[in-house]
Amino acid sequence: MEAKVKLPPLLSDNMVLQQKSNVRIWGKATPNSTVVVTPSWANKEVKTHADEKGCWELQITTPAASFEEYTLTLTDGEQSVTLQHLLIGEVWLCAGQSNMVMPLNGFDYCPISDSNNVIADAPNHPGIRMVTIKPTVKLSPQEYAEGSWQQPTTENAPKFSAAAYHYALTLQRTLQIPIGVITCAWGGSRVEGWLPKEILQTYKDEDLTLIGSDKTPVYLQSMLMYNGILYPCHKYTIKGFIWYQGESNVRSSRTYAERLATMVKHWRSIWKQGDLPFYYVQLSSIDRPSWTWFRDSQRRLAQTVSNTGMAVSSDRGDSLNVHPTRKKEIGERLAHWALNKTYGHNVIPSGPLFRSATFTDNAAYITFDYAKGLRTSDGDPIRTFEIAEQEGLYYPAQAVVENGKVKVWNDQVTHPKLVRYGWQPFTRANLINEAGMPASTFRAIKE
Written in H, E and C, the secondary structure of the chain is: CCCCCECCCCCCCCCEEECCCEEEEEEECCCCCEEEEEECCCCCCEEEECCCCCEEEEEEECCCCEEEEEEEEEECCCCEEEEEEEEEEEEEEEEECHHHHCECCCECCECCCCHHHHHHHHHHCCCEEEEECCCCCCCCCCCCCCCCCECCCCCCHHHCEHHHHHHHHHHHHHHCCCEEEEEEECCCCCHHHHCCHHHHCCCCCCCHHHCCCCCCCHHHCCCHHHHHHHHHHCCCCCCEEEEECCHHHCCCHHHHHHHHHHHHHHHHHHHCCCCCCEEEECCCCCCCCCHHHHHHHHHHHHHHCCCEEEECCHHHCCCCCCCCCCHHHHHHHHHHHHHHHHCCCCCCCCCCEEEEEEEECCEEEEEEECCCCCEECCCCCCCCEEEECCCCCEEECEEEEECCEEEEECCCCCCCCEEEECCCCCCCCCEECCCCCECCCEEEECC
Rounded to whole angstroms, the Cα distance separating 392 from 394 reads 6
Rounded to whole angstroms, the Cα distance separating 164 from 129 reads 11
Say what the pLDDT of residue 2 is.
47
Say what the pLDDT of residue 78 is.
85
Say what the pLDDT of residue 1 is.
35
Say what the pLDDT of residue 447 is.
85
Closest CA to 356 of 311, 408, 395: 408
Rounded to whole angstroms, the Cα distance separating 377 from 336 reads 19
Rounded to whole angstroms, the Cα distance separating 162 from 313 reads 15
Q: What is the pTM of this model?
A: 0.97
Half-sphere exposure of 325 (CA within 13 A, CB side): 15
Say what the pLDDT of residue 320 is.
83
Strands 405-409 and 431-432: unpaired
Closest CA to 440 of 284, 255, 245: 284
Rounded to whole angstroms, the Cα distance separating 362 from 383 reads 19
Say what the pLDDT of residue 371 is.
97
Rounded to whole angstroms, the Cα distance separating 91 from 84 reads 18
**Alpha carbon of 438 to those of 40, 387, 429, 441: distances in Å?**
46, 20, 8, 9
Rounded to whole angstroms, the Cα distance separating 75 from 73 reads 7
Displacement of CA 412 from its chain's centroid (Å): 43
Block mean pLDDT (10 aa), the chain, length 447 = 78 98 96 96 93 96 98 92 97 98 94 95 98 96 96 98 98 98 98 98 94 94 98 98 97 93 98 98 92 94 94 90 93 98 98 97 96 97 97 96 97 97 95 97 94
Rounded to whole angstroms, the Cα distance separating 61 from 39 reads 9
CB 314 within 8 A of CB 284: yes
Where residue 192 falls (left for φ over 0; alpha for ψ -120 to 50; beta otherwise) is alpha
379: buried, middle or exposed (CB in 10 Å: 19+, 13-18, 0-12)?
exposed
CB 297 within 8 A of CB 282: no
Q: Report the b/e string of 143-159 with b at 16+ CB within 10 A.
A: ebbbbebbbbeeebbbe
Output phi, psi for 300, to 5 deg.
-70, -25
